[in-house]
Amino acid sequence: MPAMHDGETVIARAARLAEAARLLDVPVRATEQYPAGLGPTVAALAAYPGEVLAKTAFSAADAPGFPALLPPGAGDLIIAGCEAHVCVLQTVLRLLGSGRRVVLVADATGSRDPDDKAAAIDRARFHGAEVVTSEMVLFEWLRDAQHPRFRDVQKLLK
C-alpha cells in the first residue's frame, strides 16, 4: 500500500465500506495476492473480512477456493482493492463474464499509477461494471433515512 497513489485515502474509503458492511450485516471477504511476498491485508482492514483467500491468480475468480469464499446466495458483488489495473480489473472482468452483477468502488480501489487506475475503471465500466463511490454504496445499503443503523453509518462519513 505505501506504493499506491493516494493509498491512505484508498485504505480509509475501504475501511468506511467495511465498517458499514459490519454495521449492516453485509458479508466481507478478502483475497490476498501472494501474501508471502507482498504481505497480508493491511492492518486497518485486516479485522473486517470473515474469510480471506490467499491467491496467485491475478483474477480472484480463477483462484482455487474462490467459489467457496462467497457467501451462499451472494448476489451483487461489491469490489474494491489494489491494483486496479491488474487483480481488481481481471477479477471484475471474469465475474462479469460469468453473469454476475459487479459494482466497482472507485474511491476504495487503487494503483501505483493514477493513469492505470483510470484506464482500469474505464475498461471495467465499458464491460458492464457499475462504477460507484463508497458513499454511494453506503446509502444504497441503507435505502432509507429511517433505517435503524442510519445514524451509525452516517457517522462514518464525517
What CATH number did the domain enclosing 122 receive? 3.40.50.850
Which cell goes with 71?
457467501
Residue 54 within any structural domain of the chain: yes
- Asked, for residue 14, whether it belongs to a domain, the answer is yes
Give the number of other CB atoms < 10 A from CB of residue 26: 15
In a domain, 13, yes or no: yes
Tell me the pairing of strands 102-110 and 130-132.
Answer: parallel
Mean pLDDT of 100-129: 97
Query: How sure is the predictor about 13, in pLDDT bands with cuts at 50, 70 and 90?
Result: very high
pLDDT at 122: 98
Q: Does residue 1 form part of some domain? A: no
Which residue's C-alpha cell is 458513499? 135
Query: To which residue does cell 472507485 refer?
Result: 106
* Predicted pLDDT at 1: 83
Farthest-apart Cα atoms in the chain, separation: 46
- pLDDT of 119 above 90: yes
Q: Which domain holds residue 54?
A: 7-155
Which pLDDT belongs to residue 71?
86
Query: Grid coordinates in use for 126?
Result: 465499458
The answer to whether residue 57 is domain-embedded is yes
Domain count, the chain: 1
Share of the chain above pLDDT 70, in %: 100
Q: Read off the pLDDT of each residue in 51-79 and give the average, rounded to a whole number.
A: 94
Confidence of residue 39 (pLDDT cuts 50, 70, 90): confident
pLDDT in the model for residue 106 = 98
pLDDT reading at 143 higher than 90: yes
pLDDT band at 51 (very low <50, low <70, confident <90, very high): very high
CA separation for the pair 143, 8 (Å, rounded)? 28
Distance CA 133, CA 127 (A): 18
Q: Is residue 2 part of a domain?
A: no
Residue 20 placed within a domain: yes
Q: Is 101 inside any structural domain?
A: yes
| Residue 72: pLDDT band with limits 50, 70, 90 | confident
